Amino acid sequence: MRSRQRMFAAVMRLLLKCLRLGRRRRFKLVRQVEQLWHYGHLCLRSLLYNSFTNGDVVLDSLFEPVYWLVDHVTRWFGVVFVALVIGLTSSIVAIVYICLLPLILQTYTPAWICWHLAYGHWNLIMIVFHYYMAITTSPGHPPQAKNDLTGVSICRKCIAPKPARTHHCSICNRCVLKMDHHCPWLNNCVGHYNHRYFFSFCLFMTMGCIYCSISGWEMFRDAYAAIERMKLLDKERLQVAANQTYYQTPPPTFSFRQRAFHKSVVYLWVLCSSVALALGALTLWHAALITRGETSIERHINRKERQRLQKKGKVFRNPYSYGSWDNWKVFLGVDMPRHWLTRVLLPSPHPPHGTGLSWDLPPCVTEQHTPLLAI
């Protein structure tokens, strides 16, 4: 009897000891999990802590995958966009030479024929020249050696010196001198050395589209009316075939050449008018930026700086603006009056003022403007 009681007591003690050990281990495991959780939370906060963090930073971080996708799509589709520009422009030129030019030579007076031939070919030469130069000219990149530059910042992505007005292009993955934007229609950045080519291409392309739209308005109306007549005649022909009235004379048919001619004229006018509106708005936007002496990126930077100084009672002055007229002379590279003809109205590969590394006063500026922040 006593032996049974002793055995029962020993079993109970062993069972209680096991329960205590399990409870201690369970509590120890819970404490370890809590410690790991607090440690991980503290590490995450220390890594993400930034005194400048705000809603804009968080929003940019959330949209980073979208930016990455757009950058890569733009990089790989740049060649497609360039081919599209060349193809559409070539189609318009082919329609003009094949369809419209013979009609102009037959119906217009000699004075109007000379005007159309001179202006049309001059505009075409300017478009082709400036587009070729814009896509083949490098926008300019800062040197990688730190000894070549003084008093500049460091690009956080390139880890290299970054001169004034230089910005990093995420698509080209390089810093660009006086960067304006990355243009997918050029498959190239618009920067210090090809900014004039880009703007001139936009300007002359807009002028050419407006010229085609105005000159071809009457032809467009006639071609559109002819296409509507084609549709009505096709409908009548189907009705005659359905009724099988052999005594009735079938309506006349349009030849393939006539159909192609009318549809080509409509295509030309619609495409030129659309491009004139869209590209004309872009050209006016860049003309306003050039007048103020700033790029597309600098406009946003200057606007924020202007608002910041306005709160302090100060006035912001763009240090790279020399006045509206002088800004245009610097941008176009006009140093003397004859340059308006040789460098603006005729194709010219002359380089811009300066190297894009420093911004000294150009020689064509009539008077020096104080590039300071006035109180």
Residue numbers annotated as active site: 183
Q: Where are the beta strands (DSSP E) in 95-184?
A: 153-154, 161-162, 167-169, 174-176, 181-183
Tell me the two tokens of residue 228: 């509507």
With tokens 């006639």, the residue in question is 222
- What region does 169 belong to: left with phi over 0, alpha with psi -120 to 50, or beta? beta
CA–CA dist 5, 213 (Å, integer): 113
Please answer whether residues 168 and 65 qualify as being in contact, where contact means their C-beta atoms are separated by less than 8 angstroms: no
Q: Which residues pair with 161 in a beta bridge?
A: 154
CA–CA dist 277, 335 (Å, integer): 32
Tell me, what amino acid is at 71? D
Angle at 169 between CA 164 and CA 174, to 5 degrees: 80
Tell me the two tokens of residue 148: 């070549």
What is the DSSP pairing of strand 188-190 with strand 167-169?
A: unpaired
One-character DSSP codes across 221-239: HHHHHHHHHHHHHHHHHHH
End-to-end CA distance of the chain: 106
CA–CA dist 311, 307 (Å, integer): 6
Number of neighbouring beta carbons within 10 Å of residue 173: 11
Tell me the two tokens of residue 62: 């959330």
**CA of residue 330 relative to chain centroid, distance:** 23
